[in-house]
Amino acid sequence: MANETTITIVGNLTADPEMRVTPTGVAVAKFTVASTPRTLDKASGQWVDGEAMFLTCTAWRQLAENVTQSLTKGSRVVLTGRLRQHHWETDQGEKRSMFGVDVEEIGPSLRWATATVRKATRSGPTGQTPPDDAWSTAAPAAPTNHGSDEPPF
């Protein structure tokens, strides 16, 4: 839709994605991505972690199925989606709100990992059925540039 706030997030899944099916048969996956900014303290020469941000993410339909089959707790991901603010009232009458993301695209970060990608095969009019290992992410390798954001060459 036009004029919606879209964002890109790089972070780690805090738990395995959980998939459910709505009463109308639509797959939905929920998961949380933690993103922690890092800055270089020039005085000490050390990297310092900032305050972590946790965002609840929602993927729908075939994307939900692909996410639950491909990603696990700790997976570093890059995702884009629509930022949503949810409002509710507690039983005590207190107004609350939180931000979440409706995921449009998601994949593993290849900064310190590798992945093997296989195109999902079509399975009728409802969309695609991914193979069991649509994303096969190797364990992150240790960075060779010792924490610097500069390329190692």
Cross-strand pairs, 11: 77
Q: Domain 6-113, what fold?
A: OB fold (Dihydrolipoamide Acetyltransferase, E2P) (2.40.50)
Give the predicted TM-score (pTM) of the model: 0.70
9 Cβ contact list (under 8 Å, min separation 6): 33, 35, 55, 77, 78, 79, 80, 81, 101
Question: Cβ(87)–Cβ(95) under 8 Å?
Answer: yes
- The four Cα atoms 121, 123, 124, 128 give a dihedral, to 10 degrees, of -60
Cα-flanking dihedrals φ and ψ of residue 14, to 5°?
-85, -15
Could you tell me the residue ranges of all domains in the chain?
6-113
Question: Is the pLDDT higher at 118 or at 136?
Answer: 118
Kindly report, residue by residue over 24-53, the tens digit of the pLDDT. Answer: 999 999 999 999 988 999 999 999 999 999
